[in-house]
Amino acid sequence: MEIIEKAPAKINLGIDALYQREDGYYELEMVMASVDLSDHITVFDFSEPKIKLKTNLSFLPLDSKNLVYKAAKLLMKRFTISTGVSIEIDKRIPVAAGLAGGSSDCAATLRALNKLWKLNLTLEELAEIGAEIGSDVPYCIYGNTAFVSGRGEIVEKITNIKPFWTVLVKPPKNMPTLSVFQALKLDDISHPDIHALRKAINEQNFKQMFKNMGNVLESVTIERIPEIQKIKNTMLSLGAKAALMSGSGPTVFGICENQVQAKRVFNGIKGFNSEVYLVRLLTRKE
């Protein structure tokens, strides 16, 4: 039996860090959105009681360092699965880009194995399991647009987003998420109003949505990768309604009101960036 699951990339329309918790994580408030740039996860029954990974990128780990492997191992142990599984990861999302590619692959694996092994788990139950593996995994179980809080385990759906055209740009230099949070100084930076952002989306007041988008992590990452600010400025000068870094970076996205505007931004920026993608926000009807 073969199951194929899409693993969409995510962008952060807003991120705020409120304080550092006793467990070491930051208490976060975020608005996340899925875009139609996806990896694909394919799972097969495997006769031997082991996990076999295969991917189209040679540098990706194929053992417990991979979140996909961790997801399969956790389900096998928890539900006493006696057979094995072969998992193929077809990567299209840039790696270490602030787009939650690894977390989305993990979530897609959980959804696929739930079907393959007929576990009959709800999305809520899968999200709880995913939270044991990574902070972005619960959101990625649901996808689309959501208000996310806690360290990422609390996910509340948002349904009124439009399928805006969006341009993604991935600079060549990567930035480890842990190092960004370690350098974050909450008292020295401006905090976006995530609740105003959420309210604007719910009311479909997209002018206010663009105004209230913000990422508290930008101050850290831009200091280390100044190219991010240059990309943002270029996107805005070419007509994007808003431009923001996704996650801890370094990917920058620009949201446009229509395809013509998005193509102008895409064409204007692809000449000096090798990884540029023209995508759309996913909505719950898609």
Q: What is the CATH number of the domain that holds 209?
A: 3.30.70.890
Residues of the domain holding 210: 165-280
Predicted confidence at residue 246, as pLDDT, reads 98
Predicted confidence at residue 180, as pLDDT, reads 94
Final residue in a domain of this structure, among 158, 175, 190: 158
Predicted confidence at residue 188, as pLDDT, reads 80
Predicted confidence at residue 190, as pLDDT, reads 87
Q: Which tens digit of pLDDT belongs to each residue from 112-124?
A: 999 999 999 999 9
10 counts as catalytic: yes
Share of the chain above pLDDT 70, in %: 99
Report the pLDDT averaged over residues 26-44: 97
Q: Which tens digit of pLDDT belongs to each residue from 216-268?
A: 999 999 999 999 999 999 999 999 999 999 999 999 999 999 999 999 999 99
Predicted confidence at residue 189, as pLDDT, reads 85
286 assigned to some structural domain: no
Which residue's entry shows tokens 């602030």?
98
Regarding whether 43 and 137 lie in a shared domain, the answer is yes
Final residue in a domain of this structure, among 108, 139, 158: 158
Other beta carbons less than 10 A from residue 74's beta carbon: 17
Q: Is the pLDDT of residue 214 over 70?
A: yes
Which residue's entry shows tokens 């590619």?
101
Regarding whether 176 and 199 lie in a shared domain, the answer is yes
Regarding whether 172 and 135 lie in a shared domain, the answer is no
Regarding whether 179 and 211 lie in a shared domain, the answer is yes
Report the pLDDT averaged over residues 162-179: 94
Q: One of 10, 70, 170, 232 is an active-site residue; which one?
A: 10
Regarding whether 140 and 184 lie in a shared domain, the answer is no
Report the pLDDT averaged over residues 132-152: 97
16 counts as catalytic: no
Q: What distance in Å separates the CA atoms of residue 195 and residue 108, rounded to the nearest whole number?
A: 29
Q: Is the pLDDT of residue 272 over 90?
A: no
pTM: 0.96
Give residue 80's region: left, alpha or beta (phi > 0; psi -120 to 50): left
Average pLDDT value over all residues in the chain: 95
Tell me which DSSP letter residue 217 carries. Answer: T
Q: Is the pLDDT of residue 285 over 80?
A: no
3-state secondary structure 9-21: EEEEEEEEEEEEC
Give the residue from 283, 278, 220, 208 showing the smallest Cα distance to 247: 220
Final residue in a domain of this structure, among 158, 191, 211: 158
Predicted confidence at residue 1, as pLDDT, reads 87
285 assigned to some structural domain: no
Q: Judge if the upstream peptide bond of residue 8 is cis by omega within 30 degrees of 0.
A: no
* Strands across the sheet containing 276-280: 242-245, 252-256, 165-169, 276-280
Q: Is the pLDDT of residue 93 over 80?
A: yes
Q: What is the CATH number of the domain that holds 30?
A: 3.30.230.10
Which amino acid type is present at position 188? Answer: D
Q: Is the pLDDT of residue 286 over 50?
A: no
136 assigned to some structural domain: yes
- Using CA atoms, how far residue 267 sits from 166, 234, 261, in Å, is 13, 12, 10
The residue among 42 and 23 whose pLDDT is bigger is 42
Predicted confidence at residue 46, as pLDDT, reads 85
* CB within 8 Å of 67: residues ≥ 6 apart: 102, 103, 105, 106, 109, 133, 134, 137
Regarding whether 236 and 189 lie in a shared domain, the answer is yes
Q: One of 16, 39, 105, 136 is an active-site residue; which one?
A: 136
Report residue 8's pLDDT band, with 50, 70 and 90 as the boundaries: very high
Q: Between helices 123-131 and 67-78, what is the axis angle to 10°?
A: 110
